[in-house]
Chains A and B, each alone.
Chain A
């Protein structure tokens, strides 16, 4: 490969970045959705009475057990058959977001269970309601503990956003494939570039999470929790 090839890749970079932006939007959407549902599902599994806890467990079991691509096809091609037509982008956020929520729920559940029961007891003894104790005492501690596991989930769903390609979302992989269709000599360099972009994003994201972890660390507990 000569320099001319890379110059061509360079000229396509804006298009690639445009695609990557869609991946980032997918990522933010699905992480937020996954976080919100994940926290609720974990709380239900740990604190709610049987039927609700069971429902939450069934939910996480389903979304952890079905491959992402199957979920994507179900949401995008399947749901219209029962009258629910979603845009490809929305279908991707929902399918991947629900899936992520199931994994996030596992992370939060583990963290919730590792908070000593004395914390809840002390909160109740002060007169806080159960919900108040969860909100002010248990959850803030559990979320801090979850950051390490959450950073794994971040890396994993970041990569999964490329699967949205399969239902026609014009994200970075689809852009790369358009470029390649026009110019086959660029096949290797264009996919290498995409790979590089993801490495950068993964690094940046984990760096940010690491910073957050440091900032949220409880003084005196270094190396212990």
Chain B
């Protein structure tokens, strides 16, 4: 059974229809990379999946749990979906350790000792054990983003959503964040990553999803999309971002 099913999502802001019927499926362990021009609804799509934004129409299932059900326990569902933001959104008044520990203590109801151990393990996983007592403002962008990934991973998510996790970073800091994500993908995490880092997409994406104007224009394995896209517009966009971002990622 699919780990995530998104069916016909619609979202409108005022007169602007941002999502015009988006559907996709992820099997467990699958990584999908979502690309597309600015303003085409990529962030909106991710936020509709855990209902940080309320979709107007359409359905989302996480396993056999319907996220969009009226009586869905949203807090419980969100705790199973890790979300990584473009600008990190670490809690500024908390240390790295407390950022990672908070969800364990306040959402999962874990005991203090166990939560601390778990949080330290997650910080170690992203290479930041030594920074446990640092506050976000004392960390570089790359370090902040790694802490925010640790914060999400600590909750044992079934699914991770990344919204342009490296686009707020200086070029020399992008690599360390991508390395963590590549490792995650290899360990079998199920993830949707909105990014224009094509090197990353080529090495870990099972499929690339090209979105434009609120719909999925085309999706398929990277080799196929790069070599022989069905829609000319896909090839055009892929060439453009490959030029813009390089493929080193």
Contact = CB atoms under 8 A, between A and B. Distances in A.
Interface of A: 116, 118-119, 121-129, 132, 136-137, 140-141, 144, 218-221, 224-225
A220 B131 CA distance: 13
A127 B89 contact: no
Contacts of A144: 93
Contacts of B91: 119, 122-123, 137, 141
A218 B98 CA distance: 13
23 contacts: A118-B89, A119-B92, A121-B52, A122-B83, A122-B91, A124-B52, A125-B78, A125-B81, A127-B76, A127-B78, A127-B79, A128-B75, A128-B106, A132-B107, A136-B102, A141-B91, A141-B92, A219-B134, A219-B135, A220-B136, A220-B138, A220-B139, A225-B92
Given A119-B89, A119-B92, A126 B137 contact: no
B155 interface: yes
Nearest to B82: A125
B50 interface: yes
A121 B93 contact: no
Contacts of B137: 218-221, 224
A137 to B, nearest CB: 5
A187 to B, nearest CB: 51
A225 B138 CA distance: 14
Interface string B36-55: 00000000000000101000
B85 A122 contact: yes
Given A141-B92, A144-B93, A124 B78 contact: yes
